[in-house]
Structure 1
Amino acid sequence: MKSKQFPKQFKWGVTISSYQNEGAYNSHGKGPSIWDTFTHKTSFKKGNGNTATDFYSNYKADIAHVKALNLDCFRFSLSWSRIFPLGVGDVNAEGVKFYHDVIDYALELGIEPWVTLYHWDLPQALQDQGGWTNRNILHWFETYVEFCTKEYGLKVKTWIILNEPMSFVGLGYYMGMHAPGKKGVSNFLPAAHHAALCQSLGGRIVRKNVEKASIGTTFSCSYVRPFNRRVIHKHAAVRVDALLNRFFLEPALGMGYPTDAFAGLNFMSKYMKPGDEELLPFDFDFIGVQYYFKVVAKFSLLPPILFATEVPAEKRDVKINAMNLEIYPKGLYKMLEKFNAYPQIKSIYITESGVCFEDELIDGKVNDKNRINYFKKTFKYTLKAIENNMPIKGYFIWTLVDNFEWAEGIKPRFGIIHNDFSTQKRTIKKSGLWLKRFLSKRNNKI
């Protein structure tokens, strides 16, 4: 039987983010972000991204690795507070130049730069005024996106507006687990609505300022299943799915918030202003699906409104990653199927997918065969989706180099390149070498 292969035009890339990689947190004119503040609290015990992988100094070597591994695209985010140290107002020329240097070097090596405008590191000066809970964020974000698109739009043609809005709003403004550490529905609902508005606002600005732009936004996606067949657990899973997978997507598609499945979202009306319903949609060129794990949900009296909770993976006798989340590659196909069912979606990119382990460097090598197996399976399911006529256009691996993994610190390693955080020495893992061979002849056979 002949091996199956990906289309020649299929894009293969890798993704990083500013706070998790750049370092240089208080130098070269950069202002503090909410993640600087959050990780510098004495109560936070997982370290910080002050240095991270020092991409600020090592960007040429890292982008050269992208080229050496036969990848087509390099997705990175702009640090808002590196460009606008106070969120608005004076521009930091050194920060602006840094991103020109990154873009220029990628282009010099024949690597296509993909820019993410917001990957969670809000300027602290804006958080001091309420951050995403303050409706003025629309004006602040507009100023930021106007500048970035005019500054880099001649070189960069693919733009992603937000990275996983449910993650930074849910974890940062409801659960308090991520920066800025806020909790409660009264923080979550306005922050979520303003993020949804900024998602479409950013898209309109890019369309206006960048000729022939390809514009997308990305969503964290989890395959949700009920704990068992009992009706209360099935309904709980529907609510969790609406929260995790539909909440930010459907407003962008002109469908409004998914109140049909999650009546608690009717509370959002308190923050809706006249005209907002018309401002929520935007005709994105593509949607980014970001998949890592499966969720099993069951009915629970807490938290109220949602009345559902997750059954931890470690209690379900399943394979788990270094963050105790279930490793379930087939879930990627399920999510591609789910997103493909929306007729408004033109194209889909897997803008992040990967798996973390506690990889060890032994005798100068990292034998991460479990990661290779993960990629083989998710690549197979991606190809299956393409063969079933789903418009899947590319796959971006999370991530290039082991980095600072937010509230989890540096213990979970997602990279295809190992990083020694004490020396910043990079070592390509077995998975990276496998990927290089896989992409070498561009036939991409499974």
Structure 2
Amino acid sequence: MTPAAKTSPPWPADFVWGVSTSAFQIEGATQADGRGPSIWDRRCLIQGKVAAGDTADVACDHYHRWPEDVALMKALGVDAYRFSVSWPRVLPRGRGGPNPAGLDFYDRLVDALLEGGITPWLCLYHWDLPQALQDLGGWTNRDCAGWFADYTTLVARRLGDRVGHWLTFNEFSVFTMFGFAIDWAAPGITDREAHLKAIHHVNLAHGLAVQGLRALVPGARIGAVHNRQRVFPEGEREENQEAAALLSEHWNDVFPDPQILGFYPPRTARLIEPYVRAGDMARICQPLDFFGLNHYGPIFARADPGWTWGYAWGDAPETRVRPEIGWAVFPEVFRDELVELTRRYRLPVFITENGCGGGSDAPDPTGAVNDPHRIAYLTLYTEAMKEAMAAGADVRGYFVWSLLDTFEWGSGYGQRFGLVHVDFKTLKRTPKASFDWYRALIQARRGQ
């Protein structure tokens, strides 16, 4: 047992320890067995949009190697696995006739997880909109909310007899902001009106999906995954403070506020009003069972009139970079966010992503993969989570991003977040030192 695990105070007996992945980032097999193209398949073909020209055509080849990955989870000892379903794998055109081979794949995966004593947490959308729907306007088209509701119905009817934990979307703010206001993600649009439409239509899709899941999966535990990070102005300039305030609203509030509290935050409410129809807010604000939080660190903002909304990403203070990690880390911001979430939304919180990237993870001459930077980061953040719980935060579980090194969107394969190293040429899996650290932490909870 590692020293960190020995010295940690005991965790609640029912605390959920897990790992997370997403379909596009690990499955590969992008043209296998009837899968249709997604907006991220298209983006990978555009020169300069993904580092080194990387694609997810193979990724971790989880589509074929899932038994090995489930075995790794069993060896790790996790309670739960958060994964996503690929919309274009089960509905190649986004609507219409389903793809039996795609549905069969998720049948096999869910069955194997349950047989291994691992609870499946199913996320319906992790950024891979079918390209056929994008050709019809995607999230700027109000009809997309209905298409998502239909897709939800298909998946719920197929897997709802075995899956009891459901998440509608992953990181609403990331894929809408970076897809429709800042060209950092698919579909790569930079337009204020498109951004506002996407925000509202995605919110509506979430509400319709929750309604569908309640009707089709009795007793289901339903939530959504939000990225929330405090936004600080870069320096003391007044214009940077205003930029930070607007970015904070777009990043932190425009999804959980209407979904849980029933209203849009003030700066957005008047701008989004033209796209809101009678009854929309009631459809969006559906009862939820938990709040999924993805958190890595705070954001620093600066004013830049050349960007769509006049805000841009700033730089964190160099004084906060931890040499042993290589990142500027702020575990106290994580602690405070957990306390604030409990106060503001009054829902149990599950950390659905937290982790540390690095481009240097590689086997040493003995074949071992040592990643002390990740262990240092995870130690700081799990201890901050424990402090938040002691201060009243209602935190019920923690999922590390990620089980495997993955295709990391615009960074391609240049960032490694996994507890398991993947050789992207041979696809060999090698558990890292952090894998052993996390397993020891889980075992300590169980008194093993």
Q: Please say whether Structure 1 and Structure 2 have the same fold, judged by a TM-score greater than 0.5.
A: yes
> What amino acid does structure 2 have at the position aligned with 1:285?
D
Match of residue 198 from structure 2: 191
The one-letter amino acid paired with 2:362 is: E
1:6 aligned residue: 11
Matched, 1:273 2:313: no
Deviation at 1:264, TM superposition (A): 5.2
Which segment is superposed worse, 203-212 or 422-431? 203-212
Q: What TM-score results when the alignment is normalised by the length of structure 1? A: 0.93
- For the residues of structure 1 that align with 2:258 and 2:192, how far apart are their CA atoms? 19
From 281, 286, 289, the equivalent of 1:282 is: 286
Give, in whole Å, the separation in 2 of the partners of 1:240 and 1:176.
16
Compute the displacement of 1:300 (Å): 4.3
For the Cα contact (< 8 Å) 2:56–2:407, is it kept in 1?
A: yes
How many residue pairs end up in the alignment?
438
After TM superposition, the structure 1 stretch with the greater mean CA deviation from structure 2, 273-282 or 52-61, is 273-282
Q: How far has the Cα of 1:367 moved from its partner?
A: 1.2
The separation in 1 between residues aligned to 2:394 and 2:13, in whole angstroms, is 14
Report the counterpart of residue 397 of structure 1 in structure 2.
400
Aligned 8 A contact 1:72 1:111 in 2: yes
Contact 1:286 1:348 in 2 (8 A): yes
8 A contact 2:326–2:373 mirrored in 1: no
Deviations 1:130-167 (A, max 9, x none): 11111110221111001111110010000000000111
- Which secondary structure does the structure 1 equivalent of 2:219 belong to? coil
Distance 1:325 1:275, change over 3 A: farther
TM-aligned CA deviation for residue 221 of structure 1? 1.6
Report how far residue 310 of structure 1 moved.
Answer: 2.8
In structure 2, the residue matched to 1:76 is 83
| 3-state secondary structure, aligned to 1:190 | helix
Partner of 1:105: 112
Mapped pair 1:128 → 2:135:
yes
CA distance in 2, matches of 1:2, 1:324: 24
Report SS of the residue matched to 2:356: coil
Kept in 2, the 8 Å contact 1:254–1:280? The answer is no
Tell me, in whole angstroms, the C-alpha distance in 2 between the residues paired with 1:337 and 1:325: 24
2:297 pairs with one of 281, 284, 293: 293
2:65 to 27, 37, 58: 58
Going from structure 1 to structure 2, the CA distance change for 1:423 and 1:320 (only over 3 Å counts) comes to farther
Question: Given that residues 31 and 85 in structure 1 are in contact (C-alpha distance below 8 angstroms), is that contact kept between their aligned partners in structure 2?
Answer: yes
- Cα distance, 1:389 vs structure 2: 2.2
- 5 Å-filtered alignment, 1:240-389, equals 240-259=247-266, 263=267, 265-303=269-307, 306-313=309-316, 316-319=318-321, 326-342=328-344, 344-358=345-359, 359-363=361-365, 364-389=367-392
Partners of 1:337 and 1:225 in 2: CA distance? 18
Structure 2 residue matching 1:292: 3-state secondary structure: coil
What residue in structure 1 maps to residue 3 of structure 2? Answer: none
Instruction: Provide the rounded CA distance (Å) in 2 between the counterparts of 1:392 and 1:40.
Output: 40
Distance 1:107 1:308 in 2: 45
Cα offset, 1:230, TM superposition: 5.5
Give, in whole Å, the separation in 1 of the partners of 2:179 and 2:293. 21
Q: Distance in 1 between matches of 2:424 and 2:385?
A: 33
Q: Show the counterpart of 2:246.
A: 239
Question: What is the rounded CA distance, in whole Å, between the counterparts of 1:267 and 1:320 in structure 2?
Answer: 40
Asked if the contact 1:218–1:287 (Cα under 8 Å) also holds between the matched residues in 2, the reply is yes
Q: Residue 430 of structure 1 corresponds to which residue in structure 2?
A: 433
- Find 2:24's aligned residue among 14, 19, 27: 19
Q: Percent identity?
A: 34
Cα deviation, 1:95-120, whole Å, max 9, x if unaligned, reads 01000000000001110011000000
Structure 1 contact 402–415 (Cα < 8 Å) conserved: yes
CA shift, 1:404, in A, is 0.2
Tell me which moved more, 360-369 or 426-435: 360-369
Query: What is the CA distance between 1:325 and its match in structure 2?
Result: 6.6
SS in 2 for 1:64: helix
Task: State the AA in 2 paired with 1:374.
Answer: Y
Q: Structure 1 residues 286, 444: closer, same or farther in 2, change over 3 A?
A: farther
SS of equivalent to 1:183: coil
1:336-380, Cα deviation, whole Å (9 max, x unpaired): 1221121x4321100000110111221211111111011111111
In structure 2, give the amino acid aligned to 1:202. A
1:415 aligns with 2:418: yes
Change (3 A) 1:78 1:264: closer
The amino acid that maps onto 2:214 is R
1:199-238, CA deviations, whole angstroms, 9 ceiling, x for partnerless residues? 1111111111101100000111222223345654444332
Question: Is contact 1:337–1:385 with CA below 8 Å preserved after alignment?
Answer: yes
Q: Distance in 2 between matches of 1:80 and 1:310?
A: 31
Given the alignment, which residue of 147, 158, 166 partners 2:165?
158
Instruction: Please tell me whether the aligned partners of residues 404 and 419 of structure 2 are also in contact (alpha carbons under 8 angstroms).
Output: yes
Distance 1:307 1:279 in 2: 31
How many Å separate the matches in 2 of 1:266 and 1:236?
A: 18
Equivalent position SS for 2:228: strand
Q: Which moved more, 1:101-110 or 1:38-47?
A: 38-47
Where in structure 2 are the equivalents of 1:172-211 lying within 5 Å?
172-211=179-218
Distance 1:435 1:175, change over 3 A: same
- Structure 1 position 317, deviation (Å): 4.5
Please identify which structure carries the higher helix content.
Answer: 2
Say if 1:221 and 1:292, in contact at 8 Å, map to a contact too. Answer: no
Separation in 2, partners of 1:18, 1:211: 26
Provide the TM-score with structure 2 as the length reference.
0.93
